[in-house]
Amino acid sequence: MVTRQFQRPDWLKRGQVFWGGHLHEPIYFYRLLADTQTRGEWTRGRKLAGVDPSAPWLVQWYDLCRSPALLDQLAELGVNCLYLNFFKGFGMEYEAAEMHRTASLVAQCAQRGIRTVLYIQPSNFFEQTLLAEAPQARDWLARDAAGNVIHYGAGDFRPVACLHHPKWLEYVRQTAQAAAETGADGVLLDNINHNQCCCDVSQQAYRTFAGDPSADLAADAASSLTTRFRVETTMHLVEAVANSVKAVNPQCAVMTNPAWPRAQNVQAAGIDIMRLASVTDAFFIENKCFPRMEGATLIGSSYAYRMADATGTLAVLSAWMPDMSLPEQPYPLRRYLLEPLAFGGHVMCPPWALRPLDERASGRHGPQDVYLRHAPVGEALAACYRLGHSVGPLLTDATPWARVAVVHPTEWFTQDFDTAMACMLSIDAVLTAEHIPYRLVAGDALDADRFDVAVVPRAAELASSTRNAIDRFAAAKAVFAFPRELQGPLHGAPAATVSADARAWAAKLRNAHPSVAPYRLAAPPWVVSFPLTCREGRLLSLLNYSDVPTTVTILSVQQALWPIKKLSFRTLEGEWQEITGQTHADSIRFELPDWLVYALCWFDLSTA
């Protein structure tokens, strides 16, 4: 069971958070990157989240983003949350002036009804500036098995920190506390997936953890014992920060960027997403999964939203195209904003909205404006946030409707992350493509009252407590194994390309219980559906992953499960309209009007 250590702040509710964009990099970080560019180092030619650090208008753009006029415009668009820089790892003294400026911005945002989340860097720092003010930081340098300092990225100026060093942990805790004391509404721990140090302090901590004075961190690297050790120490850091922040203000949210899910073993670097999410209030989904179709493959973040649900958190989509570009067409931008809404009302977040408007978009050189003033971006934001504010109240207390549970195999992730992840993404792809609603659950949360069918990966190595929970469930309800041979290759993204064999497996699952598939959808394969229980009714979101408009969609609902003849329907731009269904045998058939990106069906069962 995932027991939450803190109650999620009241302001972080489904369908209630409208992010304004990412302003988390301080000006001196851009300047440093510009300097290293001119020296021809690792950042040469690289934009940082769409910002060219060497552009002559950098400061002008930086100030524009923090101006009262821009804050006014954000508030007018419906933005109620903004992500700001605070501690980047240069040092508390070095960053003091900019922290002071951020504190003033926090107050200015609050006056406009905009909540603020402040950036904290917990896993690396900038050697030159931090050592100048804290010489003891020399002891905080993370080292590999050979004793060499580990660096973040390819440069030599940004060492990774030892997450086992109590003084570094205390330093991070103090910066987070200072961030909360500005009156901000949240802190975000970035790059939390960098627990890899093998220094003497780490080695000693590992020996204590292993209960073996001769245990060797390097020799045991990537074993399940070291993975548990990494996870344990990362949790220690996150818990210390969370306790400190919540002591200042229980309504201050703790968020993280765990770089999950990606096609790499983040568990070995200290991330057990179930445990991490249980002490935090929201997490970034930072990957290359800008929601889209590539060839016949649907790319999105379905699995991550379901993990957020399983842990009582919200997910913040902070995904990029593989080359960090932005699509030219308006549909993908709308889909990006609406995917979190469609999957249950997570945080609607455009990380790219405050990028400087480059010459391609503006036809001019210079920083005259930010991206959200570029028509396709501004219009997407305005339309999506208008819809979000309008349907948000319906979502606030909604919960995903699903009678199928997919058991999260924690132990398997510790033993063999890649295989476990490939399997879980495959299950998600099949169930999502087949419109079979499901929820992820930790094994011991598998409750026969809440679910009729449990899906368990056949190949999984399961903890004995999980096996016991599955056995108890099987005594009352059905347990369905996901065959090893249906596991796809490991994608960095939940990507739905479903084989005929997988469809045949899903057809058997559908027959396991009437509640497995409460509705059928006759729609193209790039349409995804997600149902919620909401007050006395059901809410069904439909999202189109292609840029091709969806014309005829037929929705057939099982009369016994959702006994209603009328539904209310709305699209992104339209108003609510009523649609009356036709009864066919044991189902009610609704013909939905044309829609482009997103559609919502509301079944008010109190009128049934």
By the rule CB under 5 A, 205 interacts with Zn ion: no
Task: For Zn ion, give the closer residue by CB, 41 or 216.
Answer: 216
Task: Supply the minimum distance, in Å, between the C-beta of residue 413 and Zn ion.
Answer: 24
Q: Using CB under 5 A, which of the segments 160-168, 246-254, 345-353, 428-436 binds Zn ion?
A: 160-168
Task: For Zn ion, give the closer residue by CB, 161 or 282.
Answer: 161
Task: For Zn ion, give the closer residue by CB, 106 or 271.
Answer: 271
> Which residues share a beta bridge with 143?
149
By the rule CB under 5 A, 202 interacts with Zn ion: yes
Instruction: Report in angstroms the alpha-carbon separations of 283 from 279, 288, 595.
Output: 11, 16, 31
Q: Using CB under 5 A, which of the segments 79-87, 200-208, 259-267, 443-451 binds Zn ion?
A: 200-208
- Roughly what angle, to the nearest 10 degrees, separates helices 375-395 and 68-77? 50
By the rule CB under 5 A, 105 interacts with Zn ion: no
Task: Supply the minimum distance, in Å, between the C-beta of residue 189 and Zn ion.
Answer: 18
Of 313, 318, 24, 330, nearest to 188 (Cα)?
24
Task: Supply the minimum distance, in Å, between the C-beta of residue 235 and Zn ion.
Answer: 16
495: amino acid identity, one letter:
A
Out of 71, 120, 162, 353, name the contact with Zn ion by CB under 5 A.
162
64: number of Cβ within 10 Å: 17
Q: Using CB under 5 A, which of the segments 19-27, 196-204, 461-469, 534-542 binds Zn ion?
A: 196-204
By the rule CB under 5 A, 226 interacts with Zn ion: no
Task: For Zn ion, give the closer residue by CB, 137 or 423.
Answer: 137
Coil, helix or strand for 523? coil
Task: Supply the minimum distance, in Å, between the C-beta of residue 141 and Zn ion.
Answer: 8
Task: Supply the minimum distance, in Å, between the C-beta of residue 231 and Zn ion.
Answer: 16
d(CA 482, CA 562): 28
Of 513, 557, 521, 515, nearest to 434 (Cα)?
521
Label each residue of 452-463 as H, E or C.
Answer: CEEEEECCCCCC
Q: Using CB under 5 A, which of the segments 103-111, 191-199, 328-336, 468-476 binds Zn ion?
A: 191-199
Task: Supply the minimum distance, in Å, between the C-beta of residue 115 and Zn ion.
Answer: 35
Rg (CA), the chain: 24
Q: Using CB under 5 A, which of the segments 154-162, 182-190, 226-234, 239-247 binds Zn ion?
A: 154-162
For residue 601, give both structure tokens. Answer: 């069906």
d(CA 233, CA 82): 30
Q: Are 542 and 570 a contacting pair, CB within 8 Å?
A: no
Q: What is the dihedral of CA 197, 263, 351, 153, to 10 degrees?
A: 40
Task: For Zn ion, give the closer residue by CB, 202 or 587.
Answer: 202
Task: Supply the minimum distance, in Å, between the C-beta of residue 148 and Zn ion.
Answer: 13
For 236, residues 6+ apart whose C-beta sits below 8 A from its C-beta are 169
Task: For Zn ion, give the closer residue by CB, 62 or 140.
Answer: 140
β-pair type (566-571, 527-534): unpaired
For 203, residues 6+ apart whose C-beta sits below 8 A from its C-beta are 216, 217
By the rule CB under 5 A, 199 interacts with Zn ion: yes
Q: Using CB under 5 A, which of the segments 195-203, 465-473, 487-495, 587-595 binds Zn ion?
A: 195-203
Number of residues that bind Zn ion (CB under 5 A): 6
Out of 12, 169, 197, 248, name the contact with Zn ion by CB under 5 A.
197
Chain residues binding Zn ion by CB under 5 A are 162, 164, 197, 199, 201-202
